[in-house]
Amino acid sequence: MGKKRVVVKSEEELLAEREKVESAVRGEVKLKVPQKAKEGRVYISSSYNNTTLTLTDPQGKVLYWTSAGKIGFKGTKKGTPFAASKAAEAMAEAIKKAGIEKIQVFVKGVGGGRESALRSLAVRGLDIVSIKDVTPIPHNGCRPPKARRV
């Protein structure tokens, strides 16, 4: 089999990676529609592979979106709670820049980033009016296959 190689990053490489993530969180926020809405909706879609956050106005028009992959995480790191919290920090910056005061949060999915993204939004001082879980749940499922005849 051979020896296993363990990649050990130097301290400089770790600091450079951390700096890259921090700069992506504090990056330039480009809102699609410059609006003076007082209320907004945040949709958190969390899967095992990634966490996506979308900011919309009350009518459902997308103002801003971000994800763990957009922040700079790659591979399996995108599905971690830490990556979701960093994406939520970027979303909080966009919400404050848009001038939105109250938000409704809709959480969807089963990934590890659900709670951490929501917690990170709450810690940033946003006024969360409601939290709703909109994860799709099958009620009766698919039709089972026919009985096997041998």
CATH code where residue 100 lies? 3.30.420.80
* Cβ neighbours around 42 below 10 Å, total: 26
Confidence at residue 30, expressed as pLDDT on a 0 to 100 scale: 66
* Total domain count, the chain: 1
Is pLDDT above 90 for 2?
no
Please report whether residue 4 resides in a domain.
Answer: no
Confidence at residue 55, expressed as pLDDT on a 0 to 100 scale: 94
Is pLDDT above 80 for 118?
yes
| Segment 36-65 mean pLDDT | 92
Higher pLDDT, 120 or 150: 120
| Segment 102-129 mean pLDDT | 92
Distance CA 138, CA 105 (A): 22
Cβ neighbours for 119, distance < 8 A, ≥ 6 positions apart: 85
Confidence at residue 23, expressed as pLDDT on a 0 to 100 scale: 72
Range of the domain at 76: 32-133
**Residue 52 forms beta bridges with which residues?**
45, 67
Strands, DSSP E only, in 21-61?
39-46, 51-56
- The reported pTM is 0.76
> Contact 67/47 with Cβ under 8 angstroms?
no
